[in-house]
Amino acid sequence: MKKVVVTGVTGKSGIYLYQELCKNAYQLTDFEFYFVVRNQAKAEEMLQCTQLNQHLLIGSLNDKQFVNTIFAMEGIHTLLHIAGIDKSLPLVKAAVKASIKRLILVHTTGIYSKYKAAGETYRQIEKQIDALVNGRNMQLTYLRPTMIYGNLHDKNVAIFMTMVDRLRIFPVVNGAKYALQPVWCGDLGKAYYQVLLNPDTATKRNYNLSGGQPVLLLDMLKIMAKYLGVKNRFISVPFSIAYSLAWVLYIASFGKKDYREKVQRLVEPRTFDHNDAANDFGYAPLSFEIGVKAEVAEYLALHKRTSHLS
């Protein structure tokens, strides 16, 4: 029996992994899943696949004793960690101590950012993890999604969607003519499943998990406007002015409101090829225009509006 510990299974991409596991439960009779969750009631409501050999581990990943208890269980083979790069290091320390065989860590393409706060912390975490794993009989795989979207809790596209819906005159930095490659959370869930079930083909250390094709932020906003049935006038604001205003707000708020890096990252191209993932385990993500439809539909239903999707 192959025992797998999974964190973040009730999150926006983790729940799609769970759906893949349920759909293929008949093939997973040799697997035993341990889902680490904080909210037992929420987990029991969301994770109701009776065909899956599953157990809930209730606790916080911030609790060192709880983390150590997880890996004190006999025979843990794999850790699939979806719950955030900030939780990775203590989990890996405990996993290494327990000599488990495989680590699959869902991190972020933010590691490639040239802005220190967005990238340097992530690079240091992975550097420490690499040092812990180096020389051990342990397979380590980093999965690095781009901007994740797919529901109204994604804190990315959901924010843009609200702004598009509410602002008829919409200021954008440098015309919003810079490319992004957001990824639908459902495609991530499928990718996690494929990597987990295919250790002999998903052998590379790093995989970027980006969306179908690069798309300009301006075009993303226009796609959402079309589906929402609204019209916006997009007004370009030079980066120098936007960044200066972010500094003014930072100083005026005595450092409490710091949007400086967010403005910088708005003009940082964030496109990443996913050819390795496509070749090794069949990763085939949706385009933004197709993937965002479900999120727009959720938004319209929440606000009791007529759908303009086609």
Q: What is the DSSP string of 92-158?
A: HHHHHHTT-SEEEEE--GGGG-SSHHHHHHHHHHHHHHHHHHTTSS-EEEEEEE-SEESSTTSSSHH
pLDDT in tens, 166-191: 999 999 999 999 999 999 999 999 99
What dihedral angle (degrees, nearest 10) is formed by the CA atoms of 35, 36, 39, 40?
A: 50
Do 95 and 165 share a domain, yes or no? Answer: no
Q: Which of 27-41, 100-114, 270-284, 296-310 has the lowest mean pLDDT?
A: 296-310
Range of the domain at 86: 2-145
Total domains in the fold of the chain: 2
The answer as to whether 106 is a domain residue is yes
Do 195 and 104 form a contact (C-beta atoms < 8 A)? yes
CATH of the domain at 232: 3.90.25
Do 249 and 170 share a domain, yes or no? Answer: yes
pLDDT for 184 = 97
pLDDT in tens, 206-258: 999 999 999 999 999 999 999 999 999 999 999 899 889 888 888 888 888 88
